[in-house]
Amino acid sequence: MNALLLGPVFVPLLLAAISVVLARNRSLQQLLGLVGSVVAWLCSVGVLLANLQGETLVYRLGGWPPPFGIALVGDLLASLFAVMATTIVAAGVLYTVGCKDVAVTYPAFMPLFLCMGAGLSGALYTGDIFTLFVFIELTVLASVVLVAISDNRLGLEAAIKYLFISAMGTLFLLTGIAALYATFGTLNMADIGQLLAGGSRPLLAQAAAVMLMCAFLLKSAVFPFHFWQPDFHAAAPTPVSAILSSVVVKVGIYGLIRMTTLMFTAEAPLIHDLLVLLGVFGVFFGSLGALRTYDAKRLLAYSTFGQVGFILVGIGWGTAATLAAALVYVVNHSVIKAALLMLAGAIASRTATKTARLSELGGVGKVMPMTGVLYLLGGLALAGAPPLNGFVSKAALVLGGIDAQEWLILALVVGAGLITLLYMTRTWQLIFQQAPSGEVQLKPAGDRQIAPALLIGLCIVLGLYGGPLLDFAARTVAQLGDPQLYIRAVLGG
Amino acid sequence: MNVLFALATGVMFGMGVFQLLRRDLIKAAMGFYILFAAINLLFLAVGAYDGTAPAYVDASNQPDGQPSDPLVQALILTAIVISFGSYALLLGFIAASSRRFKTVDSNELDHLKG
Amino acid sequence: MDFALVVAIPFVLGISVYFLRDRLRPVQQGLLLTAGMALLFVFLLAQLPRVTEQGALEFVAPWMPQIGLTFALYVDGLGLLFGLLVTGIGSAVMLYTGCYMDDARQAGRFFALMLAFTGSMLAVVLAGNVVVLFIAWELTSVMSFLLIGFKGADDEARKGALQSLMITGGGGLALFVGLLLLGNAAGTMQLGEILSNGEALRQHPWYGAFTGLILLGCFSKSAQFPLHFWLPQAMNAPTPASAFLHSATMVKAGVYLLARLYPALGDTALWNAALSTVGLATMLVGAVLALRQRDLKGILAYTTISQLGALVALIGQPESAGLKAAAVGIVAHALYKGALFLIAGAVDHTTGTRNINELGGIGRQMRGLAAATAIAGLSMAGVPPLLGFVAKETLLETVIQQPLALAVVTVSAALTVTAALRLFWDVFMGAPRTRLPQPEHVPHDRHHPFGDDAFDYSCCHDLPPLMLASPGTLATLSVIAGVALAPLMAPLVSAAIGKQVSLYLFPPSGVNLALVLSGVALALGIGVFAVRRVWLKWSIPVPVSGVQVYDGTIRAVESVGDVLLKMQSGRIRYYLAVILFSVLVLLATAVPNIRIDLPTPAVQLTTAAHVLEAILLVLALAATLASILFERHLVAALALGIAGYAIGGMFLLEPAPDVALVQFLVETLATVLIIIILARTSQDERRRAMARLWGQTRRGSGARPCRVHRHGRGSRHLCPRRREQPAHTGRYRRMAPGECASAGWRQRRGRGDSHRLSRHGHPD
């Protein structure tokens, strides 16, 4: 059972290696990609099912017992994020298969894409903070190459910027790791959690907390570490930006939650205050930026920036209900945002110049009625309109906010929802309703839209039948409330 | 020794940041590399125990003296490899961008904004 | 359970019609849906006795208990009244739409949206859980958005749709928080339990908060002043949608919710003051603004606003005194206003214009339509024995003790009479007019069957009987309901407000003040109408319109967005500096009083290894510094290599020979790599980038002379500007910011470049 944890990490890696060998045969490569992502998904679901039986899966690589060896740990939190990640990655691979970009025909594309997926799962499942760093780097390096080979010539610029900025994240993470190691002599998160719970609070540990937090904030593209994100999304190939904007930013969120619930529980109130502050700023900067930016994909990137703000506010309020709401928000936002980015990419793929610039998208969607319906559903879900999944997460968040009695922030957050509604419906009108300006020449066929259609379907399902997810989030939070559960599962005893 | 090491690491970080913020992208990439070198120094400094003998896993063939911390060495190894990979990619991108955009001035690489 | 079907059936019908739209003609679609709606109407009507006897029927099924959501229905007289209104007016509108729409595919789409709206609206009025109510409420907003923007190619339609969504959606958000607060305060989201908990809720410390938020939501939906401006803008919707959503049903959702929550929240000082003030203001503003309208639908929209104001003010009367008048008013207004909207659409349909200045005397050709208009208009004017008269009488009787309210109601009633007269007389009677010059022309639903230029009233014909049937029926119902008050209206109203009421056409005790005032209003209205030539020329200055405020707000928000977007300047150095600075600030705040205990001795250089290590350390630092100071890239790269080797040496001393080995290897590779890269980048570019270390000169601002600097070899170079480089101009075009994928570069680039790039991407 514990070996299931290997699946989401090592199956994609293995298949990536094989598909490098099969560079000449693109369809076989894509088949491998699909197989790899589906197997990863199945394994992560298997871990989740085992979790539901009340089990925390631990796999010790090489058989070395923690804290010396590296362990993969599948508890509820990791499973929640990992199932979400593998789902979106599978959808991304599916989109890649139907994608008309030149970039996806490169032999390197599918292996890198799989590496990105493997890195994601690895970062979520690992119980060791240095391995977390390694997997995050795997994701970053894979995605940075993928954006550099994008059809969009500015992909290269985005790659350079992302590489520089994410190097800062690496720097912070490594500094934090070094500080932790200097203090505790261990890098196992459970072990560190145990030592910290023991009461020793050296100053260096606090500095480490700050550095780790900054690294995770950078991965989540939170103000003021967000600069890479809009550029990246505007330039990346559609499937890559869909993964980045939905799941990769959530790895940072995962790190923050893990940090505040397992390791730095005593510092959590301080971190929470900061998260609320940054979250509110993110909500507004993201929403307003999305209102004014000039490119449909960039708009969605700014929107992610805003939505991550909502999640941070949920985490920052610090009660069990709001943390659960934040978890639900994480999942729902990933599904919505991946679908929307794929749809935006599909629309752009029909234009003659393959651009997502709003000034050139007027009326482009007139010939794509189904896309219009999907995009509208996605936009409404993003804005939290019922009965879609965005509504469930927003309702949970608002209820949590009422319980926490955070009136001012609640009002701000709700107000920002209106801006989301404005920019999503406005772009929808622009793309799908406005009369095309001049002679718009469209390509006869664009990217296939099976993947976004499935994801929007998932939005509707999660909207109408969101109870299980809400329950699961509540259970996860309950488990997080007792870090000893995790520590005992990993260290034994 | 510790103070010296700490100071050196700090100076290294400072120089890395300075070089990182240069307009010339190639110099900035060097800054990137300096920063990672500083990180390696940092790891060296935080080793759990200063050894006098290499850390070998093979117990039967253990040389005399206190072995140095093996975990730190593993960390540094990984960090070196990863940072080299990033550095190589970065330099490759800079070369490609010099061809595509005809510049290695980071201020001129501002097509993506707003 | 059967009520759940009532909610579900419209959705099912809508989807079926959408998929059958290629098979059925619009008229057939309309007939099918009319039958369906009529069936629902009959079903709901049949429940009336049951509800009157047993009180509210409740139905609860679990859904998402985590957010307080149950699938709950709560059916009482009030809900049934609105349900009957929705299905009744709905069937009339469906029948009409079948004739109104020409294109079957478009009709199918339109019908699907209308039916989805019907289902949502029924869910609003039958919901037994406040979260369900909110879900349905938002769905009606979304459907309204889609219906107003049905003709999406029209800029005005899109703008109106977005505006209505923003106002009602924003109000919806307030309502959402308000309802959740209410549910939290009551400890339940079930409507039935909330309603029976009124006493505690009115005492609750949050009462002001949730009531204010809920009122905001209701006012926005029901187009109350000052949020009324979206409703006239919504008139860009196809006329059947205007008749159904924006006059008879959706805009009354706010009124419904106010009446619904009256037992729980109503009759407090806050409630009464807010509702009376806003309602009366809306009533007056709507009636006055209606006078200035030239568009038939504009007149109807503003009189609707006025009427909605009256309804809101009535619900704000103390001790539920106004509920009876509100219930009568809702029915009366729905009947006559629904009819008039359909008539406006028909006029537009046949003449090609809705501008009242272009119309006149068409009653000779369209006798049936004129008759229907006359009846509906009389009801609107409040002439006995129509239902509109009863509504006006009960309204006047309710406010008879309040001089200010009485004055407002009388004036508004008089102006409504004027509006009704204009709608009838200026369109159907009088002399035929000619068409005005184009700029005066208001965008209309349908083009004239003979093209835009032809404008000949002689070819106006009366409507096909099927199309006339809907407004005719609604108008006739105004008469029937007015005459047969006791058997028809009284039970309905009694059920709706939950107590027995008596309705009468004329006061049983003879003439009273209300009757007198009603007569005064009628006379006044006719008088104002008679002198319309005078006041139509007046220009009443409106200080600021709601639309301007709305647009200004959006612009202000957008300009904040622009300021924030400036932060995304595109310059990586700035990004990195901000990030590093933020981390420093965070570190300084989190670890404020850091204290370092120096080890003793601070520096230990006892052994040879230590000394060697210190030397290597200094060497590494010096080499790094050199790499910064040397301007030439090659030298800098070599210096960096030396620094790396020095660090490798330290690893060797650690002792970590394996790490040292890797370090030496990697360092060699890195140095080789950078030399390769240097060979591949143009020296000019590198020199240019090095020229100004911290300068922020924008590229292209070539007016500033370049600084001359000394290069390594001692020769003097002018730092070259791009503009002065003929070698590059042919190959490189300056790109506008974000000009990512314009056709120009793609043609030039082709696929080859990408391949080349990907090769550079992996310098193995």
- Which pLDDT score is estimated for C457? 46
The CATH number assigned to the domain holding B7 equals 1.10.287.3510
Give the span between the Cα atoms of A153 and B100, in whole angstroms.
8
Chain A 154-183, residues with CB within 8 Å of chain C CB atoms: 154, 156, 160-161, 164-165, 168, 172
CA gap C705, C684 in Å, rounded: 17
Q: Which of B26, B34, B109 to mutate to test the interface with C (most CBs of C within 10 A)?
A: B26
Do C743 and A161 make contact, defined as CB atoms within 8 angstroms?
no
Nearest to B107 among C571, C647, C731 (CB): C571
Look at residue C390 in the predicted model and tell me its pLDDT.
Answer: 87
Secondary structure E strands in A91-162: none
The alpha-carbon gap from B59 to the nearest alpha carbon of chain C, in Å, equals 17
Per residue in A116-127, pLDDT (tens digit) is 999 999 999 998
Residues in chain A with CB shorter than 8 Å from the CB of C764 are none
Q: What is the pLDDT of residue C293?
A: 85
Percentage of residues in chain C with pLDDT exceeding 90? 27
- Nearest in space to C435 (alpha carbons), one of C527, C493, C353: C353
> How many distinct structural domains can be found in chain B?
1
pLDDT band at C720 (very low <50, low <70, confident <90, very high): very low
Q: Are A172 and A214 in contact (CB under 8 A)?
A: yes
Does residue A46 carry a pLDDT above 90? yes
Cα C286 to Cα A376, A440, C299, C549: the distances in Å are 34, 43, 9, 18
Q: Do the Cβ atoms of C754 and A270 come within 8 Å?
A: no
Looking at every residue in chain A, the average pLDDT score rounds to 89
- Is the separation of the CB atoms in A218 and A165 below 8 Å? yes
| Torsion sign across C-alpha atoms A385, A387, A392, A393 | negative
* CB-CB under 8 Å, A174 with B86: no
Quick check: C51 pLDDT over 90? no
What span, in angstroms and rounded, lies between the C-alpha atoms of C208 and A54?
45
Over the stretch C459-468, which tens digit does the pLDDT of each residue have? 455 677 788 8
Rounded-to-integer distance, Cα A300 and Cα A229, Å: 10
Please answer yes or no on whether B91 and C693 come within 8 Å at the CB atom.
no
| H/E element, C59 | strand C57-64
Say if the Cβ atoms of A289 and C565 lie within 8 Å. Answer: yes
Q: What's the first-to-final CA gap in chain B, in angstroms? A: 49
Residues in chain A with CB shorter than 8 Å from the CB of C138 are 385-386, 391
Please check whether residue C66 touches A, CB under 8 A.
Answer: yes
Q: How confident is the model at residue A376 (pLDDT cuts 50, 70, 90)?
A: very high
pLDDT digits (tens, 9 = 90+) for B46-72: 764 555 566 555 555 555 566 667 778
Residues 79-138 of A with CB under 8 A from C: 102-103, 106, 108
pLDDT attached to residue C437: 44
CB contact under 8 A, B35 and A167: yes
- On whether the CB atoms of residues B9 and B52 are closer than 8 A, the answer is no
Closest CA to A234 of B112, C750, B93: B112
- Across C249-276, b (16+ Cβ under 10 Å) vs e yields bbbbbbbbbbbbbbbbbbbbeebbebbb
pLDDT at A192 over 80: yes
Q: Using an 8 Å Cβ cutoff, are C550 and C170 in contact?
A: no
Task: Give the three-class secondary structure for A320.
Answer: helix
User: Per residue in C81-94, pLDDT tens?
Assistant: 999 999 999 999 99
Pull the structure tokens for residue A240.
């890559």
| B59 within a domain of the structure (yes/no) | no
User: Is pLDDT of A162 > 60?
Assistant: yes
Contact: C579, A227; criterion CB under 8 Å: yes
Confidence of residue C709 (pLDDT cuts 50, 70, 90): very low
Q: Looking at the complex, does the CB of residue C573 fall below 8 Å from at least one CB of chain B?
A: yes
B86 touches chain C (CB under 8 A): no
The residue of chain A with its CA nearest to that of B113 is A231
DSSP annotation of C318 reads G
In chain A, the N- to C-terminal Cα span, in Å, equals 20
Dist CA B19 CA B30 (whole Å): 7
**Largest alpha-carbon pair distance within chain B?**
63
Q: Compute the average pLDDT of residues A410-423.
A: 87
Q: Helices (DSSP H) in A359-449: which residue ranges?
A: 369-383, 389-404, 407-428
Q: Are strands C716-718 and C708-710 parallel, antiparallel or unpaired?
A: antiparallel
To 5 degrees, how large is the angle CA B99–CA B101–CA B107? 125
Rounded Cα–Cα distance for residues C303 and C225 (Å): 13
Give the span between the Cα atoms of A264 and C440, in whole angstroms: 69
pLDDT confidence of residue C719: 39
Name the band, by pLDDT with cuts 50, 70 and 90, for residue C602.
Answer: low
Which chain B residues have a beta carbon less than 8 Å from that of A175? 39, 42
Q: Is the distance from CB of A364 to CB of A351 less than 8 angstroms?
A: yes
Nearest residue on chain B to C748, alpha-carbon basis: B100
**Chain A: closest CA distance from residue C568 (Å):** 7
**How far does the CA of residue C250 sit from the closest CA of chain A (Å)?**
17
Q: Alpha helix locations (H) across C630-692?
A: 633-653, 657-680, 683-691
Distance in Å, alpha carbon of B95 to nearest chain C alpha carbon: 6
B46–A contact, CB cutoff 8 A = yes
Q: What's the pLDDT at C729?
A: 35
Contacts of A235 in chain B (CB under 8 A): 112
Interface of C with A in 663-722 (CB under 8 A): none
The yes-or-no verdict on residue C741 having pLDDT over 80 is no
Q: A71-74 and C57-64 as β-strands: parallel, antiparallel, unpaired?
A: unpaired
Would you call C490 an interface residue with chain A, using a CB distance cutoff of 8 Å? no
Tell me whether residues C743 and A353 touch, CB distance under 8 A. yes
Q: For chain A, what are the domain ranges? A: 2-491
Contact list, C158 vs chain A (CB under 8 Å): 429, 433-434
| Contact (Cβ atoms closer than 8 angstroms) between residue B88 and residue B94 | no
Q: Summarize pLDDT for C392-446 with one digit per residue, the tens.
A: 888 888 888 888 888 999 999 999 999 998 888 888 887 776 654 443 344 444 4
Q: Flag whether pLDDT at C695 surpasses 70.
A: no
Nearest-angstrom CA–CA distance, C654 and C498: 90
CB contact under 8 A, C177 and A410: yes
Residues 6+ apart with CB under 8 A from B78: A130, A134
Q: With beta carbons less than 8 A apart as the criterion, state whether A120 and A9 touch.
A: no
B30/C640 Cβ within 8 A:
yes
Give C500's pLDDT tier (boundaries 50, 70, 90): confident
**Would you place residue C740 in the very low, low, confident or very high pLDDT band (cuts 50, 70, 90)?**
very low
Residue A200 is predicted with a pLDDT of 65
**Cβ atoms of C374 and C304 closer than 8 Å:** no
The sign of the CA dihedral C152, C155, C158, C160 is: negative
* pLDDT, mean over chain C: 81
How much is the pLDDT for A439?
64
Q: Which residues of chain B neighbour C644 with C-beta distances below 8 Å? A: 37
What is the pLDDT, as a whole number, of residue A412?
A: 82
Comparing C-alpha atoms, which of C422, C382, C87, C360 is closest to residue C249? C87
Distance CA C349, CA C170 (A): 34
| Of A212-226, A366-380, C19-33, the least confident | C19-33
* Residue A210 touches partner C, C-beta closer than 8 Å: yes
C668 vs A365, more confident: C668
Residue C594 has pLDDT above 80, yes or no: no
Region C688-713: what's the mean pLDDT? 46
Q: What is residue C86's three-state secondary structure?
A: helix
Phi, psi of B53 (to 5 degrees): -130, 155
Q: Does residue C304 contact residue C242 with C-beta atoms inside 8 Å? A: no
Tokens of A476: 């996860």
CA C546 to chain CA centroid, Å, is 15
Q: What are the backbone dihedrals phi and psi of residue C263, each rounded to the nearest 5 degrees, phi first? A: -65, -30
Helix (H, G, I), strand (E, B) or coil at B65: coil
Question: Alpha-carbon distance A360 to A347, whole Å?
Answer: 11
Instruction: Indicate if ipTM > 0.85.
Output: yes
Q: Among A388-402, C541-555, C598-612, which is the least confidently predicted range? A: C598-612
Contact A148 C761 (CB under 8 A): yes
Average pLDDT over residues C512-536: 86
C688 CA to centre of own chain = 52
Ranked by mean pLDDT, the top range of A336-340, C62-66, C707-711 is A336-340
- Picking from A113, A118, A140, A132, the residue whose alpha carbon sits closest to that of residue A14 is A118
- C 577-616 near B (Cβ less than 8 A): 577, 580, 598-599, 602-605, 610, 613-614
Yes or no, beta carbons of A213 and C586 under 8 Å apart: yes
- For C38-49, the pLDDT digits (tens) are 999 999 988 888
Task: Spell out which residues of chain A touch residue C554, defining contact as CB-CB under 8 Å.
Answer: 422
- Contacts across the A-B interface (CB distance below 8 Å): 86
Structural domain span for residue B33: 2-50+69-108
Residue C590 and residue A417: Cβ atoms within 8 Å? no
Task: Name the DSSP class of A2.
Answer: G
Cβ <8 Å between B48 and A181: yes
Q: Report helix, strand or coil for C602.
A: coil
C329 against C711, higher pLDDT: C329
The yes-or-no verdict on residue C692 having pLDDT over 70 is no
Local confidence band at A425 (pLDDT 50, 70, 90 cut-offs): very high
User: Could you report the per-residue pLDDT of C615-660, keeping only the tens digit for each?
Assistant: 898 999 999 999 988 888 889 999 999 999 999 988 888 778 888 8
Judged against a pLDDT cut of 50, whether residue C763 lies above it is answered with no
- The larger pLDDT score, comparing residue C548 to residue C460, is at C548
pLDDT at C462: 62
Per-residue tokens: C630: 């040397």
Contacts of B94 in chain C (CB under 8 A): 677, 681
Percentage of residues in chain A with pLDDT exceeding 90?
47
- Pick A231's closest partner by Cβ from B20, B93, B112: B112
- DSSP character at residue C322: S
Instruction: Tell me if C144 sits within 8 A of C150, measured CB to CB.
Output: no
For residue C238, give both structure tokens: 């196809």
CB C628 to CB B15 under 8 A? Answer: yes
Amino acid occupying residue C392: K
- Is A452 a residue whose pLDDT tops 50? yes
Model pLDDT, residue C716:
37
Task: Please give, rounded to a whole number of angstroms, the shortest distance from the CA of C606 to a CA of chain B.
Answer: 10
Burial pattern A109-133, b for ≥16 Cβ within 10 A else e, equals bbbbbbbbbbbbbbbbbbbbbbbbb
Q: What is the pLDDT of residues C94-130, one digit of tens each?
A: 988 888 887 888 888 899 999 999 999 999 999 989 9
**What DSSP state is assigned to residue C247?**
I
pLDDT at C705 over 50: no
Cβ-based neighbours of C173, under 8 Å, separated by 6 or more: A414, A415, A417, A418
The pLDDT of residue C247: 85
C624 lies within 8 A of chain B by CB? yes
pLDDT tens digits for range A378-413: 999 999 888 899 999 999 999 998 888 888 888 887
Assess C131–A contact: CB distance below 8 Å, yes or no. yes
Domain residue ranges in chain C: 269-542, 606-688
**pLDDT band with cut points at 50, 70 and 90 for residue A351:** confident
The residues in C 717-756 lying below 8 A from A, measured between CB atoms, are: 738, 740-743, 745-746, 749, 751, 754-755
A230-281 pLDDT, tens digit per residue, is 988 888 999 999 998 889 999 999 999 999 998 888 888 888 999 999 999 8
Positions of chain B with pLDDT under 70: 1-2, 47-68
How far apart are the C-alpha atoms of C31 and C744, rounded to whole Å?
A: 55
User: What tokens were used for A67?
Assistant: 């804290």
Residue B72: predicted pLDDT: 80
Look up tokens 């939650």; give the residue. Answer: A257
The least confident of A262-271, C22-31, C537-546 is C537-546
pTM for this predicted structure: 0.88
* C614 compared with C759, residue with greater pLDDT: C614
Chain A positions touching B86 (Cβ under 8 A) are 137, 141, 163, 167, 170
Mean pLDDT, residues A110-115 taken together: 92
Q: Do the strands A71-74 and A57-60 form a parallel or antiparallel pair, or are they unpaired?
A: antiparallel
Most confident stretch, A350-354, C536-540, C598-602? A350-354
